[in-house]
């Protein structure tokens, strides 16, 4: 069996969980086994787990699991994996998934690969799976030599597809682990804008913006697109934009469908975080800017003219 | 306070990435190695700051061959007190974590720091594994860390925001940007580092549970299509019809 932990921060099944379930279901299909989705609590959107291929839903509904702590969650997921004899445990490559992956791998004595981007292949020795390495400059195939595997799925790398199953829900009870961690507060940006690691559309800007007071045109473009905003590292370092917007080798790596970069030169460390984007649009007034080499579409002009014009053009088709 | 910082080496950020032996090995020919930025800039510096404020020692540990001594000396120059290199090839996160946990188990460390990930294989795995092997709490992607007696307050990044956690007793933390400001080693630090202890111990036997068997380069982008800046309608049309991303 393939066990997928379907994350539900804020009591909601999110896109990354649906991708993970669909990935688990495709893996199960190729290996001739079944796929179970594990949820904590009673999240909204559980129907979608069946829609995207879960054969069964395992639910742990216990106040001890209200807040994510890696010690408590890893033990619970590993216990379920053992009880159900799961060959592969699938997580999302999110902040939660990353803090669980190593723990679960140790508990299950399983080989692990984080941030995978392909469906596992069955090999004689075990399974093999691909992930992007060297900040997107290469791909590596990992072979897992142990009986069990734990994988975390990179967002936006395997398309979620409907499979329409009608899973039954089984409620499980597991003994929570001890924890010395207490969550004091959570601060989240409000609104419907996707957080950067999950965003499909991203509008990003760099030092070419001259100063934080000019970001209105970037926000307006993001707004009409329904996109999330990002920035280059010096922009975050100078405090023009919040740190969580910093993308690149030392920021976050993203893989949106569309990445629009305005006033960013395209240094290798910046590209490292964005070069897996499906489509890149670069706006830069310097025809020699290295970013053009990594772009699908380029506009060589002053961003202060081009960005508002692009916003208008998008408004027209959205109207 | 006894603080342990796990440090790793990684190719310098502009290093050319190439492979040998039928694309099964990373080609390290001519590649410059550096201390992994997250380990150096954030984990190590924050540990040194905590020691400066509260007293104690900062130990750095690295799993790797003798050629890693250069980057270990750099960590000592920045301000770590002592270093241990566990002599072995860090083939996988599992192997590395086993070595570190085995070294740390009797060390009485209050906090074990890792970086949020290495920038070569972007694993983000070692910290959680060490925590599980030692049965300690693990706070990943921490952007701030303050200690008061045996309780620590840690801010960590989560999707779309952050959360603040209170941890009692020893724990493992992975450091992300924000936790500290990079320090450049000065002449005095570099001189002192030469006299600080760098112990070498042998690795314990561990099976490889996962290994890389093949590398490949990503598909090349077809060359860029330049768009007339006066004609943004054309760009929007291409994004819809050709790239199909809108
Ligand atoms: C170890 C290391 C790690 C790093 N990690 C990261 C990282 O994670 N992310 C990151 O982004 N950087 C990172 N960097 C920094 C990186 O090398 C570059 O310095 C940085 O990305 C440059 O940011 P920028 O493109 O915004 O600014 P600049 O390089 O200053 O480029 C500004 C661009 O704007 C253009 N421009 C100016 N005015 C206009 C205008 N009116 N209209 C149109 N275009 C205009 C210019 O032609 C120029 O190309 C790292 C560096 C190191 C050494
Ligand atoms: N060979 C190593 N020796 C010591 N620490 C390491 C080693 N490899 C990784 N680490 C630590 O684990 C962190 C995460 O590494 P990784 O899981 O490989 O992305 C790094 O930032 C280091 O702090």
Q: What is the pLDDT of residues B142-166, one digit of tens each?
A: 999 999 999 999 999 888 789 999 9
Q: How many domains does chain B have?
A: 1
Domain housing B144 = 2-220
CATH of the domain at B126: 3.40.50.620
Instruction: Give ∠ CA A19-A252-B13 in degrees, rounded to 5.
Output: 125
Residue ranges in chain B modelled with pLDDT below 70: none
In a domain, B81, yes or no: yes
Hey, are the CB atoms on A138 and B215 less than 8 Å from each other? yes
In a domain, B94, yes or no: yes
What number of H helices and E strands is found in chain B?
7, 15
In a domain, B38, yes or no: yes
pLDDT at site A29? 96
Decide if A203 contacts A230 (C-beta within 8 A): yes
In a domain, B245, yes or no: no
Handedness of CA A32, A33, A39, A45 (dihedral sign): positive
What are the chain A neighbours of B24 within 8 Å (beta carbons)?
A: none
The mean of the pLDDT values for chain B is 95
Q: What is the pLDDT of residues A30-59, one digit of tens each?
A: 999 999 999 999 999 999 999 999 999 999
pLDDT at site B207? 87
pLDDT at site B113? 98
What are the chain B neighbours of A110 within 8 Å (beta carbons)?
A: 209
Cβ neighbours of residue A206 closer than 8 Å, sequence gap 6 or more: A231, A232, A234, A235, A261, A262, A263, A264, A265, A270
Chain B touched by A137 (CB under 8 Å): yes
Hey, are the CB atoms on B225 and A297 less than 8 Å from each other? yes
pLDDT at site A10? 86
Of A114, A145, A299, the CB nearest to B229: A299
Of A149, A183, A282, the CB nearest to B165: A183
In a domain, B148, yes or no: yes
First vs last C-alpha separation in chain B:
54
| Res A78 pLDDT > 90 | yes
- The whole-number average pLDDT for the span A84-113 is 97
d(CA A132, CA A156): 13
d(CA B97, CA B114): 11
| Res A189 pLDDT > 80 | no
3-state secondary structure of A160: coil
- Residue A39 parent element (H or E): strand A35-40
Q: What is this structure's pTM?
A: 0.91
Written as six digits, the tokens of A215 are 């970001």
Nearest residue of B to residue A74 by CA position? B132
Q: What is the pLDDT of residues A117-156, one digit of tens each?
A: 999 998 877 899 999 999 888 999 999 999 999 999 998 8
Smallest CA-to-CA distance from A70 within A104, A28, A108 is with A104
Cβ neighbours of residue B40 closer than 8 Å, sequence gap 6 or more: B7, B34, B74, B75, B78, B182
pLDDT at site A14? 86
Q: What percentage of chain B's residues is helix, strand, coil (to nearest 5)?
A: 30, 30, 40
Q: Which of A74, A95, A186 to mutate to test the interface with B (most CBs of B within 10 A)?
A: A95
**Adjacent-strand bridge partners of A284:** A300
In a domain, B243, yes or no: no
In a domain, B52, yes or no: yes
Written as six digits, the tokens of A227 are 């996109």
Phi first, then psi: give them for residue A249, nearest 5 degrees.
-60, -40
pLDDT at site A244? 87
pLDDT at site A192? 72
Band the pLDDT of A217: cuts 50, 70, 90: very high
In a domain, B109, yes or no: yes
- Give B173→chain A minimum CA distance, Å: 10
């Amino acid at each position: 069996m393939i066990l997928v932990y379907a994350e539900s921060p804020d009591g909601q099944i999110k896109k990354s969980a649906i991708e993970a379930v669909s990935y688990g279901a495709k893996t199960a299909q190729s290996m001739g086994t079944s796929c179970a989705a594990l949820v904590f609590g009673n999240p909204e959107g559980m129907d979608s787990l069946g829609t995207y291929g879960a054969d069964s839903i395992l639910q742990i509904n216990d106040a001890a699991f209200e807040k994510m702590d890696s010690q408590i969650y890893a033990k619970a997921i590993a216990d379920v994996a053992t009880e159900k004899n799961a060959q592969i445990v699938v997580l999302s490559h999110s902040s939660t998934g990353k803090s669980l992956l190593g723990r679960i791998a140790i508990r299950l004595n399983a080989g692990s690969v984080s941030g995978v981007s392909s469906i596992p292949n069955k090999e004689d020795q075990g399974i093999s799976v691909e992930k992007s390495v060297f900040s997107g400059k290469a791909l590596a195939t990992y072979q897992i030599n142990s009986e069990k595997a734990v994988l975390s799925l990179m967002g936006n790398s395997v398309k979620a597809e409907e499979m329409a199953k009608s899973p039954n829900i089984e409620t499980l009870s597991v003994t929570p682990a001890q924890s010395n961690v207490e969550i004091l507060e959570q601060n989240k940006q409000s609104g419907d804008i996707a957080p950067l690691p999950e965003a499909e559309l991203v509008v990003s800007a760099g030092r070419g913006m001259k100063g934080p007071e000019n970001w209105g045109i970037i926000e307006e473009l993001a707004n009409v697109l329904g996109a999330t905003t990002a920035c280059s590292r010096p922009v975050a370092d100078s405090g023009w934009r919040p740190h969580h917007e910093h993308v690149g080798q030392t920021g976050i790596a993203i893989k949106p469908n569309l990445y629009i970069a305005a006033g960013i030169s395209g240094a290798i460390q910046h590209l490292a975080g964005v070069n897996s984007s499906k489509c890149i649009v670069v706006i830069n007034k310097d025809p020699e800017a290295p970013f053009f080499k990594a772009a699908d579409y380029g506009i060589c002009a002053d961003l202060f003219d081009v960005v508002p014009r692009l916003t208008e053009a998008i408004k027209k088709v959205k109207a | 306070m006894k603080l342990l910082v796990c440090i790793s080496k990684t190719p310098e950020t502009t290093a050319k990435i190439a492979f040998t032996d039928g694309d099964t090995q990373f080609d390290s020919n001519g590649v410059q190695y550096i201390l992994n930025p997250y380990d150096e800039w954030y984990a190590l510096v924050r540990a040194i700051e905590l020691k400066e404020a509260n007293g104690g020692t900062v130990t750095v540990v690295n799993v790797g061959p003798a050629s890693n001594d250069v980057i270990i000396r750099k960590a000592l120059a920045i301000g770590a007190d002592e270093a241990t290199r566990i002599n072995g090839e860090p083939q996988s996160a599992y192997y590395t974590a086993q070595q570190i946990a085995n070294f740390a188990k009797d060390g009485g460390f209050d906090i074990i720091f890792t970086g949020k990930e290495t920038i070569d294989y972007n694993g983000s795995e070692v910290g959680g594994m060490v925590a599980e092997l030692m049965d300690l709490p693990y706070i990943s992607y921490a952007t701030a860390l303050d200690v008061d007696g045996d309780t620590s307050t840690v801010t960590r990044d989560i999707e779309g925001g952050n959360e603040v956690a209170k941890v009692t007793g020893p724990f493992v933390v992975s450091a992300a940007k924000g936790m500290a400001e990079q320090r450049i080693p000065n002449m005095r630090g570099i001189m002192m580092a030469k006299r600080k202890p760098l112990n070498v111990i042998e690795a314990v036997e561990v099976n490889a549970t996962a290994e890389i068997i093949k590398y490949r380069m990503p598909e090349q982008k077809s060359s860029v299509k330049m768009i007339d800046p006066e004609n943004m309608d054309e760009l929007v049309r291409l994004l819809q019809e050709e790239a199909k991303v809108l």
